[in-house]
Amino acid sequence: MSKIIQLDEHLSNMIAAGEVVERVSSVVKELVENSLDAKSTDITIELTDSGIREIKVTDNGIGMDKTDIKLCYLRHATSKIKNQYDLFRISTLGFRGEALPSIASVSDMTIKSNNGETSNYIHLRASKLMDEGLISLNRGTEITVSNLFFNTPARLKYLKSENTELANVCEIVDKLAISNPSVRFKLVNNKKVLLQTYGNNDMKAIIGNIYGADSIKNMIEVDNEKNGIKIKCYLAQPIVNKSRKSAITLVINGRDVKNYSVINSVIDGYNTYIPVGKYPLAVVFVKMDPMLIDVNVHPTKKEVRLSSEDLLKSLITSTIKNALFKSRLIPELKMKEEKEVFPRSEIKVEEKTPTYIDKMEYIKQSFLEEEQIELEKRLPYLEYIGQYAGTYLLFQNDSGLYLMDQHAAAERVRYEKYIEALSNPTNISQPLMVTTIIDVTKKEKIFVDKNLEEFNKLGVVLEEAGPASYYLRSVPVWIIGDALSIVEEMIKFIVEIESIDLKQIRDELAKRISCKGAIKANKNLSIDEVNTLVKDLSKCKNPFTCPHGRPTIINFSQYEIEKMFLRVI
């Protein structure tokens, strides 16, 4: 007797549901993507108890007739592709014909649709047709999913709390709204509106609605093109950074996708502009030939493979770097609004721009473009007025008060000199007038012994002095300051990562050694030293942050200072 059997349609759908429908957000994603493929311009998502009890998605798309509505829940029934050639030029969000049958197999589902001629509905329970007929409905489709996973208790058990499920739905809808700025979205949970966009292609308004008004203040908008690949980037200021990579949205041909390598190219573009462990807020739209994209690598179509990935990564990184390079990125410190202490009649009021703007009005207002800044004048004119706590240099100009972290500034100057030297290494070295001994660990000794010739090529000439030490005879000409501590740091880092390939390690190595010998905190500087530091910093490609992303300089505007002293309201 044969041991192999063919699974029935219902069981096949339930197995497929395990891949396509993992949680409430999976259902929302699939239903909304179907609405978008139906050319909808208005989509409403209504949840009851975060979608655990019920999910309803209503759109104004092209709708379905009686025949289509009875085919749409069958497995691999799709209007998106007709043959194998269509599979290599996917321009829709869905195409597998798995979403509706998978969802229907683990829920109660009602589908209502009007194609402009007739309105029909069907009711399914665990994929079984329970009822059908005519109904009154505006053009479009309404799908209601309730009792999710009622027949798969194991999956129901592993649904998270209502708050967690709702957070995941919000993240999915946020990404869909960003990816489709010409579509009106409304997300409601238990009759409370959580997100509403207006479908007017105002990308900054959508980003501000989702991430807050501060995220779009002075947002950088830039586009570029190379070899048929077009990109458009919306880049938040580096001061607006997040703790997760999810704040980076990558949209390829209208599809919000995950490609970790490409997302990392966005992070590389912000390199040294944001603190270590933080990530930028950025939206990157990509348009490229569908033949270069394989979206058929995962049931949820979230992950994609790209044929021109390296070209796209290089284009994104260079575009972001150039855009940040041309912007003045000095953070302006704003004081929080305080409750009124004195009666208004006792305070002199000056006519100023209102300090509070309604959130939606703030999002809708237009923002002035960053002023053009000559590249040789990366910093504004700064008049030195003193030093605070032996660490912060104080400057003033017509815009207000500036504080500069002298260690962070010196570290940035040294980093850019080191990264340039390490990017163009030479074998030019300078002998030390006094030979110095470097002590190393056993592990370091073994590694250095194997790579003495490579160290010599870097300009670090070492000669064995004992079982755990070397004579340091020469150092590279580009070393600034304490040569011994810098060489010790080089050896420590190179041994730690077990690589001496400068192309791979130069950035991190430059960060480490730039700290060595930089001006420290609590060190009083002469006026000549201050002037030299400011002059060198103004020549840097990025004078606004240290190599680790901390700000080198911040600004208190004159208006903010006057507001603190209650001179203005």
User: In this structure, what CATH number is given to the domain that contains residue 318?
Assistant: 3.30.230.10
Residue 411 lies inside a defined structural domain of this protein: no
* Whether residue 129 sits in one domain with residue 271: no
DSSP E strand stretches across 236-388: 241-242, 248-252, 255-256, 279-280, 282-287, 293-294, 305-306, 383-388
**Chain segment 261-290, per-residue pLDDT in tens:** 999 999 999 998 998 889 999 999 999 888
3-state secondary structure of 143: strand
29-33, 203-207, 217-221, 498-502: the lowest-pLDDT one? 498-502
* Whether residue 226 sits in one domain with residue 174: no
Residue 422 lies inside a defined structural domain of this protein: no
* Whether residue 47 sits in one domain with residue 149: yes
* Whether residue 212 sits in one domain with residue 153: no
Residue 548 lies inside a defined structural domain of this protein: no
| pLDDT tier, 522 (very low <50, low <70, confident <90, very high otherwise) | confident
Q: What is the mean pLDDT of residues 95-117?
A: 84
Q: What is the mean pLDDT of residues 515-524?
A: 82
26-30, 233-237, 342-346: the lowest-pLDDT one? 342-346
The listed range with the strongest mean pLDDT (13-17, 106-110, 335-339) is 106-110
pLDDT at residue number 281: 95
| CB neighbour burial string for 258-268, b if at least 16 within 10 angstroms, e if fewer | ebeebbebbbb
pLDDT at residue number 4: 61
CATH number of the domain bearing residue 506: 3.30.1370.100
pLDDT at residue number 137: 93
Indicate if the pLDDT at residue 154 is higher than 90.
no
| pLDDT tier, 519 (very low <50, low <70, confident <90, very high otherwise) | confident
Residue 78 lies inside a defined structural domain of this protein: yes
C-alpha to C-alpha distance for 49 and 208, rounded to whole angstroms? 26
pLDDT at residue number 21: 80
* Whether residue 211 sits in one domain with residue 78: no
| pLDDT tier, 10 (very low <50, low <70, confident <90, very high otherwise) | low
| pLDDT tier, 485 (very low <50, low <70, confident <90, very high otherwise) | confident
pLDDT at residue number 330: 83
Residue 349 lies inside a defined structural domain of this protein: no
pLDDT at residue number 54: 96
Angle between helices 203-211 and 162-179 (to 10 degrees): 170
C-alpha to C-alpha distance for 381 and 395, rounded to whole angstroms? 9
pLDDT at residue number 344: 32
Give this prediction's pTM: 0.74
Q: What is the mean pLDDT of residues 464-484?
A: 85
* Whether residue 215 sits in one domain with residue 177: no
Q: What is the mean pLDDT of residues 461-485?
A: 85
* Whether residue 277 sits in one domain with residue 209: yes
pLDDT at residue number 60: 96
pLDDT at residue number 352: 37
Q: Which of 325, 349, 378 is the last residue of a domain?
A: 325
Residue 549 lies inside a defined structural domain of this protein: no
Which secondary structure element, helix H or strand E, spans residue 404, and what is its range? strand 400-405
pLDDT, greater one: 506 or 237: 237
C-alpha to C-alpha distance for 232 and 267, rounded to whole angstroms? 16
Which domain covers residue 502, as residue numbers? 427-476+481-515
For the chain, what is the domain count? 3
pLDDT, greater one: 85 or 419: 419
Q: Which of 308, 325, 342 is the last residue of a domain?
A: 325
Angle at 58 between CA 187 and CA 285, to 5 degrees: 60
Q: Which of 170, 196, 222 is the last residue of a domain?
A: 196
CATH number of the domain bearing residue 184: 3.30.565.10
* Whether residue 177 sits in one domain with residue 110: yes
Residue 531 lies inside a defined structural domain of this protein: no
* Whether residue 231 sits in one domain with residue 271: yes
Indicate if the pLDDT at residue 550 is higher than 70.
yes
Q: What is the mean pLDDT of residues 161-187?
A: 94
The listed range with the strongest mean pLDDT (247-261, 327-341, 348-362, 447-461) is 247-261
pLDDT at residue number 426: 67
Indicate if the pLDDT at residue 89 is higher than 90.
no
C-alpha to C-alpha distance for 303 and 343, rounded to whole angstroms? 59
Pairing of strands 282-287, 248-252: parallel
* Whether residue 180 sits in one domain with residue 277: no
Indicate if the pLDDT at residue 398 is higher than 80.
yes
| pLDDT tier, 296 (very low <50, low <70, confident <90, very high otherwise) | low
pLDDT at residue number 2: 55
Q: What is the mean pLDDT of residues 294-319?
A: 77
pLDDT at residue number 300: 54
* Whether residue 76 sits in one domain with residue 57: yes
**Chain segment 332-366, per-residue pLDDT in tens:** 776 555 443 333 333 333 333 333 333 333 333 33
pLDDT at residue number 78: 59
* Whether residue 115 sits in one domain with residue 18: yes
pLDDT at residue number 376: 46
Residue 33 lies inside a defined structural domain of this protein: yes
C-alpha to C-alpha distance for 437 and 78, rounded to whole angstroms? 74
Indicate if the pLDDT at residue 504 is higher than 80.
no
